[in-house]
Amino acid sequence: MSKMVEGAADTLAADMAALRDEIARLSAAAGELLQERTQAGGRRVAAAVGNAGDRIAGAAADVQDRAKELHGDVAAGIARHPFAALLIVLGVGVALGMMRRGHR
């Protein structure tokens, strides 16, 4: 009977060693999978940030273009109607002066 116990013990030890090896392989595979998923997520985030940056840069360029157009329109309006522009500036100055005087 001791030979049966020894055989069972040997079999159990071999099974435990195989189980440890399998667990080690599964842990390594899970680590690789986690690393791949993390890298893929990082690439997606980087792409989204890059796209957002491109959209912001495009919007800023559009605003700058519109401001240049508006400046040109205002300059042209002043050139066409200089007296009216002078009266508008005078009116704005008087209004600002009255508001400032009221705060003292």
Mean pLDDT score of the chain:
87
Q: CB atoms < 10 A from the CB of 65, how many?
A: 10
* 14-41 residues labelled b (16+ CB within 10 A) or e (exposed): eeeeeeeeeeeeeeeeeeeeeeeeeeee
State how far the Cα of 81 lies from the Cα of 77, in Å rounded to an integer.
6
- This prediction has a pTM of 0.46
Span 32-63, pLDDT tens digits = 888 888 888 888 888 888 888 888 999 999 99
